[in-house]
Chains A and B, each alone.
Chain A
Amino acid sequence: MNHSVKRLRYVLKRLLQALPIVLAIVVVNFFLLHMAEGDAVDVLAGEAGSATPEYMAELRQKFGLDKPLPVQLAIYLKNVLSFDLGYSFRHEMPVSQLVLDRFVPTLLLMVSTILLAVGLGIVLGLIAAVGLNTWRDNLISVFALVTYATPLFWVGLMMIVVFSLNLGWFPTSGMENIAAFHTGWDRVWDIAHHLVLPTITLSLFYLALYTRLMRASMLEQAGMDYVTTARAKGVTERRIVFVHVLRNALLPVVTMAGVQVGALIGGSVIVESVFAWPGLGMLAFEALFARDLNLLLGIFLLSALLVVAVNLVVDIVYSLLDPRIEVS
C-alpha cells in the first residue's frame, strides 16, 4: 500500500475513534443538566418573579421539556450538532455566542503558556540531564518538586503581591487597559504586558512536568544503542547530546504537551479568575457565582471537545513525525 494512503487511513481511523467519545461526552452533559435541580423553565419563572402553573406547562411544552427522556436527549443532540447550547439568562445571550466570544483570550493564554512551559521545560530538562547529579540537576529537581506541590491560585496571588502591588511592574488584572483606547501595536503591547503574569503562573506547574519528562526522556535515550554506535564512531559528546539524543528525546515531550491540554483548561479557570482574564475560565467563574448552569455546561462541553480535538491533532502530527506509529 502506498505511504500517503496508509497515512490517510490512520487519520480516518483516529477520527472514527474520537466520535464515540464526543457522543459520550454530550450524553454525560445532558444527564448532568438533568441532575440539576429545576429546569430552564423554573429559572425563567424565577427571573420573571411570578408565573402561573399553566404558563410554565406551556413553556415546558415549547422547549420540549414535557417529552420522555430519550426524546429530550435526541433533541439535545440535535441542538448540540447545530451548536445551539441553550440560553444564558444572566447574560441574556445564547451560550454558544458567549462561549465563542470568550474563547480567544483563553486560547491566547493557553498558547503562550504551552510555548513557555514546553520551551523552558525542554531547556531545563536538558540542563539537568547533561549535568546529571550536579548542583544544577539537584536545583532543577527541587524546583520541579516545589512547583509541583504549589496551588496555582496561590502562586497567582503571590505574583500580584510581589510584581504588581510592591514592584508595580505588571498590571494586577484584566487583559488590556480599556480606558486607554490603544490601537495597533500599542494595543498588542498592552495585551502582552497584561499576559505576562497569568502566563507565568499557569505555566509553572507544566514547566515542572515537562522538565521532569525531558530529563527522563534524555536519560532514556542516552542509554540506547545508537548512542554507543555514535560514540564508537568518534562523534563528539556535544554532538551526540545536541544532535542525536535531543532530537529523539523531544518526541515524548511534544506528545505530553497535547495530553495536558485538559489539565491546562482546568488551570486556566483558576488563573483567569485570579487575574480577571476575560476568557472561558473567568466566564465559568462568573457562571458559578450566578448559578448559571446552562452556561457552565456549555463551557464544559466546549473544553471537552477541545481536548478531543487537540489529542486528535497531536496523534496525527505524531504519526507524521514518527513513521513507526503507522506500522503498529
Chain B
Amino acid sequence: MTRENLAHFWRLYRRNYSAVAGLAILAAIIALAATAHFFFPDDPFKLAGRPMSPPATGGFLLGSDSLGRDVAAGIAHGAKTSLLIGLVATLVAVGFGALMGGLAGYYGGWIDDLLMRTTEMFQTIPSFVFAILLVAIMKPSIESIVIAIAVVSWPAVARLVRGEFLSLRNREFVQACHTLGMSDLRIMLGEILPNCLSPIIVTGSLMVATAILIESGLSFLGLGDPNIMSWGFLIGAGRTVLRSAWWVCTFPGLAILITVLAINLVGEGFNDALNPRLRERR
C-alpha cells in the first residue's frame, strides 16, 4: 500500500467516529500490554499484599484476589496474552482458510467439492465444544489454544475466499495472465489474492475479537496455559470469592468487554472504508 492509498484509506476511515474511538481504545490497550512489564515488573502470579483487598486500598488500584495477587497487574499482563493469542490464532486461521478457499475457488471441480464438504463439516461441529476438546486433548498451552481457535475459525475465511476467487478467476485480467503463461501459483498469489484483500482484512479483524472471546472462555474453564496470566483465568479464579470480592471478576471482564468492543468497532470501520459501496446498506 502506498502512502497516498493509506492517506485515502484514513480519510474514509475517520468518517466513522465510533471506529476512530475504537481505534483509540485499542491503541490504549496495546500500550497497556506493552508497558505491563514497566508498571508491574513483578510476576502477576506473585503474592503482592493482603488478600481480598477492595479496590483502591492496600496499594491495589483494582483490589487483590483471594491469594493476594494484584488484579490490576493481572489485567495488564493478561492484555498481552489476549491480544497475542487473538492475533496469532487469527493469522493462522486466515492463512489456512485462504489457502483452502483459494484452491477450491481457483480449481473448482472435485477439489472444490472435497474442500467445501470439509469446510461444511467443520462449520457443523459446535465450535466452542470442539475447541474445548482440542485443548483438553493437546494439553493446555499457548500453542494448543492457538491451534484450537484457528481450527474452529478457518471455515468462515475459506468460504469467503472461495467466493472471491470464484468470481475473479474468469475475469479478463486473469485470462490475460494465463495468456502470458504465468504459473497458477503466481496468478493466485500475485493477481487474484491482492484483489480480495479488503474483505479478508475486514473478516480477519472481526475474527480477532471472536478469538479473544474464545480464549477467555477457555481459560475461564481452566484450559488456559497454566504459566501465563490471562483475563479468563482471573475471572475463573475469582468465581469462588464472588460473594465477598466482586472486584476480582468484575474488572477483568470489563477489560475483555472493552477490548472486544474496540476491535469490533475497528472492524466495522475497516468495512466502511474498504467497501464504500456497502455503506449505504447498513
A153 pairs with B137, CB closer than 8 A: no
A154 pairs with B223, CB closer than 8 A: no
A284 pairs with B249, CB closer than 8 A: no
Q: Is B200 an interface residue (CB 8 A)?
A: no
* Chain A, 1-46, CB within 8 A of any chain B CB: 20-21, 24-25, 28, 32, 35-36
Option from B121, B209, B246 in Cβ contact (under 8 Å) with A161 = B246
Q: Is B199 an interface residue (CB 8 A)?
A: no
Q: Is the interface of B mostly helix, strand, loop or mixed?
A: helix
Within 8 Å CB of A21, what residues of B? 117, 120-121, 124
Query: Interface 1/0s, chain A 203-246, versus B by CB < 8 A?
Result: 00000000000000000000000000000000000000000000
Contact A146-B126, Cβ < 8 Å, known A154-B249, A157-B235: no
A160 and B249 alpha carbons, distance in the complex (Å): 11
Option from B118, B243, B257 in Cβ contact (under 8 Å) with A165 = B243
Within 8 Å CB of A249, what residues of B? none
Within 8 Å CB of A274, what residues of B? 239
A270 and B216 alpha carbons, distance in the complex (Å): 11
Selecting from B2-10, B85-93, B127-135, B162-170, the interface stretch reads B127-135
Closest-by-CB residue of A relative to B117 is A20
Q: Is A308 an interface residue (CB 8 A)?
A: yes
Option from B127, B134, B138, B246 in Cβ contact (under 8 Å) with A263 = B127
Contact A149-B264, Cβ < 8 Å, known A32-B133, A157-B249, A297-B133: yes
B136 pairs with A24, CB closer than 8 A: no
A149 pairs with B220, CB closer than 8 A: no
Contact A158-B257, Cβ < 8 Å, known A24-B121, A293-B137, A304-B124: no
Q: Is A266 an interface residue (CB 8 A)?
A: yes
Closest-by-CB residue of A relative to B258 is A149
A269 pairs with B235, CB closer than 8 A: no
Q: Is A185 an interface residue (CB 8 A)?
A: no
A153 pairs with B133, CB closer than 8 A: no
Closest-by-CB residue of B relative to A18 is B124
Contact A285-B221, Cβ < 8 Å, known A157-B235, A266-B128: yes
Q: Is B242 an interface residue (CB 8 A)?
A: yes
A154 pairs with B253, CB closer than 8 A: yes
Within 8 Å CB of A308, what residues of B? 124
Query: Interface 1/0s, chain A 243-280, versus B by CB < 8 A?
Result: 00000000000000000001101110110011000000
Closest-by-CB residue of A relative to B135 is A288
Contact A300-B133, Cβ < 8 Å, known A20-B117, A149-B260: yes
A95 and B48 alpha carbons, distance in the complex (Å): 45
Nearest Cβ on chain B to A286's Cβ, whole angstroms? 11
Q: Is A318 an interface residue (CB 8 A)?
A: no
Contact A296-B126, Cβ < 8 Å, known A146-B261, A153-B220, A154-B235: no
* Chain B, 239-258, CB within 8 A of any chain A CB: 239, 242-243, 246, 249-250, 253, 256-257
B124 pairs with A267, CB closer than 8 A: no
A149 and B124 alpha carbons, distance in the complex (Å): 23
Nearest Cβ on chain A to B230's Cβ, whole angstroms? 12
Q: Is A197 an interface residue (CB 8 A)?
A: no
Query: Interface 1/0s, chain B 126-154, versus A by CB < 8 A?
Result: 11111111101110000000000000000
Within 8 Å CB of A128, what residues of B? none
B261 pairs with A149, CB closer than 8 A: yes
A273 pairs with B124, CB closer than 8 A: no
Nearest Cβ on chain B to A35's Cβ, whole angstroms? 5
Nearest Cβ on chain B to A295's Cβ, whole angstroms? 11
B261 pairs with A300, CB closer than 8 A: no
Closest-by-CB residue of A relative to B118 is A24
B253 pairs with A158, CB closer than 8 A: yes
B129 pairs with A148, CB closer than 8 A: no
Contact A154-B126, Cβ < 8 Å, known A32-B133, A35-B137: no
| Pairs across A and B, CB under 8 Å, 12 listed | A24-B117, A25-B124, A28-B125, A153-B216, A153-B232, A265-B129, A266-B128, A267-B128, A270-B221, A273-B221, A296-B132, A296-B133
Given contacts A145-B261, A266-B129, A307-B126, 19 further A-B contacts (CB under 8 A): A25-B121, A32-B137, A36-B137, A146-B261, A149-B264, A150-B253, A151-B232, A151-B235, A152-B217, A154-B256, A157-B249, A158-B253, A161-B246, A262-B124, A263-B127, A263-B128, A284-B132, A297-B133, A303-B126
Residue numbers of B with Cβ under 8 A of A are 117-118, 120-121, 123-134, 136-138, 209, 213, 216-217, 220-223, 232, 235, 239, 242-243, 246, 249-250, 253, 256-257, 260-261, 264-265
Residue numbers of A with Cβ under 8 A of B are 20-21, 24-25, 28, 32, 35-36, 145-146, 148-154, 157-158, 160-161, 165, 262-263, 265-267, 269-270, 273-274, 284-285, 288-289, 291, 293, 296-297, 299-300, 303-304, 307-308, 311
